[in-house]
Chains A and B, each alone.
Chain A
Amino acid sequence: GEDVEQSLFLSVREGDSSVINCTYTDSSSTYLYWYKQEPGAGLQLLTYIFSNMDMKQDQRLTVLLNKKDKHLSLRIADTQTGDSAIYFCAEGPGGYNKLIFGAGTRLAVHP
């Protein structure tokens, strides 16, 4: 079945770039998403990319998609303490939004 894998933890220094990686298995996915979860809150959609794109940039966020390797990454430039959160990768195989979520990467930003 479909699967999405992420590393569980990433620690970066404030001001550095963070890169969160994700691999997925379903090559028929139409959309790939990044969600952010802050403590005690639900998930917020950060950005998404269509499967026919290689890259998408949105202010400090850059999403890279390598379809051949089924690899998705989220780069956060100039990481701030407010970026500390859990980041979830999700793929959309289609059909009533049956997203498959990864386990989440906890990003810790330290001074």
Chain B
Amino acid sequence: NAGVTQTPKFQVLKTGQSMTLQCAQDMNHNSMYWYRQDPGMGLRLIYYSASEGTTDKGEVPNGYNVSRLNKREFSLRLESAAPSQTSVYFCASSERGDNSPLHFGNGTRLTVT
């Protein structure tokens, strides 16, 4: 039982490059989320998908796009990376969106130079 799987684990980009972070869950969860973690700031919600076919902005959506490809997969795209997007990115899923517990992946550490 893999839970939430994120790829890649590490990535270095140059300013202006694009990339897609992949996330998949095998728990048949309805809701999926992307967070970023920065030192001293806790986790901040970038985008979420309450259910397959829907996506909504979180607290810090600027510079990102998402796709809920199917029930299992939720990807995060950086179209033109900036140094301010250097962070650790976590994908999470939950059975429902009503305060059911979040299950997190192990994160992607992204550095933008």
Size range of the interface on B? 20 to 34
Q: Is the CB of A92 within 8 A of B106?
A: no
Chain B residues near A103: list those with CB within 8 A: 40-42
> Which residues from chain A contact B90 at a C-beta distance below 8 Å?
42-43
Is B84 close to A, CB under 8 A? no
B31 part of interface (Cβ distance < 8 Å): yes
Taking residues whose C-beta sits less than 8 angstroms from the other chain, chain A's interface range is: 20 to 34
CB distance from A17 to the nearest CB of B (A): 25
Interface of B toward A, CB cutoff 8 Å: 4, 31, 33, 40-45, 48, 50, 56, 58, 90, 92, 94, 97-107
Which positions in A face B, CB cutoff 8 Å?
A: 4, 8, 30-31, 33, 40-45, 48, 88, 92, 94-99, 101-104
Specify which chain B residues have a CB less than 8 angstroms from the CB of A44 in the assembled complex: 104
* A103 to B39 CA separation, bound complex (whole angstroms): 8
B102 to chain A, nearest CB (A): 6
**Contact B99–A31 (Cβ < 8 Å):** yes
CA distance A31 to B48 in the complex (A): 19
Contacts of A95 in B (CB 8 A): 97
Question: Do B43 and A97 touch (CB < 8 A)?
Answer: no
B2, chain A: closest CB distance, angstroms: 12
User: In the complex, what residue of chain B is closest to A42 when comparing beta carbons?
Assistant: B104
